[in-house]
Amino acid sequence: MREVLRVKKPGLFTTVQDLGRPNAIAAGVPPGGAMDRFAHRAANLLVANDETAATLECTLSGPELVALENCLVAVTGADFDPRVNGEPEPTWTGIFLSKGDELAFAGRRQGGRAYIAVAGGIAADKWLGSMSTNLMTKRGGMHGRQLLTGDVIATAGDAHTPAISGRHLAPNQRPDYSDHTLGAIAGPHLRRLGATGRRTLFNAEFKVSRDADRMGYRLEGPTLDASGEELLSFGLAAGALQVPRSGQPILLMADHQTAGGYPVVATVASAAMPVAAQLLPGDRLSFAEVSIESARKLRAAQRAALDSLIS
C-alpha cells in the first residue's frame, strides 16, 4: 500500500465506490457501486487500472486533494472544472500529479457526480467482495462513511504501467449528459397504466425532486395510475421505475432497496444509467421507450468506447 493523496477538503459528499456487491442482494444488501458506471470504468482505464478498481465518487462538488507522491489521476463524469495548483485541467484525461501538487475543483459546470481514479486503484475497506461505501450499514470504502478532511488515500498496488499522462477519451465517445431523455424498456406492470398512462410515461416531462439520493430519485410531474391488485414483493434492479400509490414514480439507483411490492412500469436501459446518475434535484427528464435489442446496441457502443481505452 502506498499513501498517495491527502484530503485537504472532502467536498460535499465524496465516497469510495467500485462496481458494487451484486452477490449480496440475496441478503437484502443494496448492490451499491458507482452511480455512473461508464465514468467510473473510464476513469480507471485512463490511468491503466482494472475497471473494477475503486474510485472516488464526488457529488455536486469536488474535494481538494494533495499529492503525497507522484501519481497519475483521471477525472471523469460530471465537469466540476478540475484544477491542478489552480490551473485548469481537462476531464476524461490522465493527469500527472507531482508530489505536493493540489487537485481541486473550481465549480460545477455540468452533471452531478464526478469520478476520480488513481493509478494503482484506491485501497479501502472491502465488505462482501466490494469496496463500495454503504452508509446504512457503515461498511466498505473509507470505513463506511464519506471522506473527511485529513483522510489519506492509499493505492492498492503499484501502477500497472509507468505513469504516462495524457491518455484521453474523445468527446464523441462520452455519454451526452445534456440529453436527459432516458431510454427505457417496458416493465412487468406497464399494462396497469393503460394506453393514456403509457403515453404520459413516454411523452411527458418529469422533474427530479429534492428526495433524490444514491438509493433513488422521487420524480415530480404528471401522476401515473398503476393501481390494481396488491403485488407480492419481488426482487428489484437499478433503473426500475416504481409507481407507488401516490402516482409519483421513483427511479431506483445504485443503493436501491433489493425488494419491493410497487408496480414497475419501465426499467431504464443500462446504457442510459450514466446520464440518470448525473441528474440532480430540479433537473428535467423524460423517458423514451426502447426495445431490448436497441438497449443492447447502445450498451455495446458504450463498451466499444471503453475498449478504445484499453491498449
Partner 1 sequence: MPAPRSTTRVRTHPLGDAALLAELGTRLDTALNTRAIALANALKKRRDVRQAVAAYASVTVHFDPDQTTHDALAAAIKRLASKRPPMAEPGRLHRIPVVYDGPDLAAVAAVLGLSAAQVAEIHVRPIYRVFLVGFVPGWAYLGPLPEELELPRRHVPRTQVPAGSVAIAGRQSGIYPLPTPGGWHLIGRTSVKLFLPDADPPCLFRAGDRVKFFAAQT
Size of the site for partner 1 (CB under 8 A): 42
Question: Which among 114, 107, 7 is positioned nearest to 57, based on CA atoms?
Answer: 114
Q: Grid coordinates standing for 23?
A: 452477490
| Residue 24 interacting with partner 1 (CB under 8 A) | yes
103/275 with CB nearer partner 1:
275
- CB of residue 128 vs partner 1: minimum separation in angstroms? 6
**β strands within 214-283, DSSP E:** 216-220, 234-235, 240-242, 250-252, 259-260, 264-268
43/266 with CB nearer partner 1:
266
Site string for partner 1, 187-206 (x = CB under 8 A): xx------------------
Query: In whole angstroms, what is the distance from residue 225 CA to residue 207 CA?
Result: 18
Q: For the chain, how big is the Rg over CA atoms in Å?
A: 20
58/241 with CB nearer partner 1:
241
Report the residue from 231, 247, 286, 306 that binds partner 1 according to the rule CB under 8 A: 231
DSSP codes of every residue in 113-135 = EEEEEETT-EE-B-BTTB---BT
β-partners of residue 105 are 82
Report the residue from 267, 274, 287, 302 that binds partner 1 according to the rule CB under 8 A: 267
204/300 with CB nearer partner 1:
300
Residues 34 to 53 in contact with partner 1, rule: CB under 8 A = none
CA distances from 46 to 51, 53, 118, 253 (A): 10, 12, 9, 25
Residues of the shown chain interacting with partner 1 in the complex, contacts defined by CB under 8 A: 22-30, 127-128, 136-137, 139, 185-188, 229, 231-237, 239-240, 257-260, 264, 267-271, 292, 295-296, 299
